[in-house]
Amino acid sequence: MRYNFCVILEKQKRVDMYISTLFEDFSRSYVQKLIDWGKVQVNGKTCKKNIKIAHKDELSIEVIRESYDIKPENIPLDIVYEDRDMMIINKNAGINVHPVPGEWWNSATLVNAILYHCSEELPCISGQERPGIVHRLDKDTSGLIMIAKNDITMRRLSDILKERKIEKYYIAIVYGKLKQTDIEIESYIGRDKNDRKKMTVDDPVNPKIACTKAHVIDYMDNKYTILRVKLETGRTHQIRVHLASIWFPILGDSVYGNKKANTEAKTLYQLKRQALHAYSLEFELYGNTKRFEWPLKSDMMRMIGDIPLNPLTKEEIKQRGEAEF
């Protein structure tokens, strides 16, 4: 696949750094390989990795997916649901969903575990390194993730994901006492031009609109807020970036969080990762409505204790015609 861009930059930047910022899945080493293979052109000419590009330069990139020898590995899976078309897995925190192009590792990921569980060949939509993966969760986010087991289901789930017809809800514990019961955050999100591993709402590279809604469930110790979060869009690090942008970062988030609060939570609650759990998925597939909800992992549950988690607001319960719970 070939991509063509008109460069937008305030000042000159190395071409490999610029490309690795544009593509969230490409490490800088992988981009440098593409350049070495002659797959990157600037203003119609094949370039070297150390050249600098400027505003309004024309950039052309031919993406070649690296061949991965991903081996099945006997890693336990918490399977919530499975049929001939798909699986719903409750992912543990601390495990990557798939290998990353250009990185040295291709082991101990969710993909390795899925390949061991499923003997048949799984479909891909984003290269050989992601068999069955429809959407992703960050390494240190736990919760529900969809896996497609055939090409037809992969295409269908990918389509309804793009059409925003999959409702995804999360439970998050944030630092600070959020007084508004309901909030909506809408902004552009893109790569941080100074740190390609981070996303930002402040003058981002290759920005895309993102919308996050949150409802306050309860408070902890008069200084933490438990939120039910709904993703209206699906940008990289979206919930983490949006909540941090309004000064209510997710507790335990090592990238966007409050270091002092994180240290305190680690001491008091033994929280060793960001307090974010994908607890609910709802969508229609082949004419049937599917809804999955799954409890928090033990580390977040230990923090919340006896506080009841009422995922739906009273208005939503009334609309669904369900009894309040």
Write down the pLDDT at residue 82.
93
Does residue 150 share a domain with residue 94?
yes
Mean predicted confidence (pLDDT) in 193-211: 89
Does residue 137 share a domain with residue 173?
no
Residue 75 has pLDDT above 80, yes or no: yes
Which of 163, 185, 208 is the endpoint of a domain? 163
CA angle 125, 127, 129 (to 5 degrees): 115
CA angle 285, 289, 295 (to 5 degrees): 110
The whole domain housing 149 covers 79-163
Write down the pLDDT at residue 126.
44
What is this structure's pTM? 0.76
Query: How far apart are alpha carbons 251 and 226 in whole angstroms?
Result: 10
- Higher pLDDT: 221 or 118? It is 221
Does residue 176 share a domain with residue 159?
no
Query: How far apart are alpha carbons 99 and 108 in whole angstroms?
Result: 9
In a domain, 91, yes or no: yes
Query: pLDDT class for 323, splitting at 50, 70, 90?
Result: very low
In a domain, 300, yes or no: no
Q: 129 is written with which tokens?
A: 């390194």
Q: Which of 49-58, 61-70, 292-301 has the lowest mean pLDDT?
A: 61-70
- Check if 202 is active-site: no
Mean predicted confidence (pLDDT) in 156-164: 89
Query: How far apart are alpha carbons 91 and 203 in whole angstroms?
Result: 33
Does residue 268 share a domain with residue 180?
yes
Mean predicted confidence (pLDDT) in 208-214: 96
Query: How far apart are alpha carbons 67 and 106 in whole angstroms?
Result: 11
In a domain, 46, yes or no: yes
Query: pLDDT class for 219, splitting at 50, 70, 90?
Result: very high
In a domain, 138, yes or no: yes
Write down the pLDDT at residue 152.
85
What CATH number has the domain bearing residue 246?
3.30.2350.10
- Higher pLDDT: 131 or 83? It is 83
Does residue 203 share a domain with residue 314?
yes
Q: Which long-range contacts (CB under 8 A, 24 or more apart) does 283-287 make?
A: 283/157, 283/160, 283/165, 283/166, 283/167, 284/160, 284/165, 285/85, 285/86, 285/153, 285/156, 285/157, 285/160, 286/85, 286/156
Amino acid at 281: L
Mean predicted confidence (pLDDT) in 121-130: 51
Does residue 49 share a domain with residue 153?
no
**Residues 236-289: tens digit of each pLDDT:** 999 999 999 999 999 999 999 999 999 999 999 999 999 999 999 999 998 889
**Residues 252-261: tens digit of each pLDDT:** 999 999 999 9
Domain count, the chain: 3
- Higher pLDDT: 316 or 285? It is 285
Using DSSP bridges, classify how beta strands 276-285 and 205-220 pair: parallel, antiparallel or unpaired. unpaired
**Residues 295-304: tens digit of each pLDDT:** 899 999 999 8
Of 138, 140, 203, 221, the active-site residue reads: 138
Q: Which of 67-76, 178-187, 209-218, 223-232 has the lowest mean pLDDT?
A: 67-76
Does residue 223 share a domain with residue 183?
yes
The answer to whether the beta carbons of residues 279 and 295 sit under 8 Å apart is yes
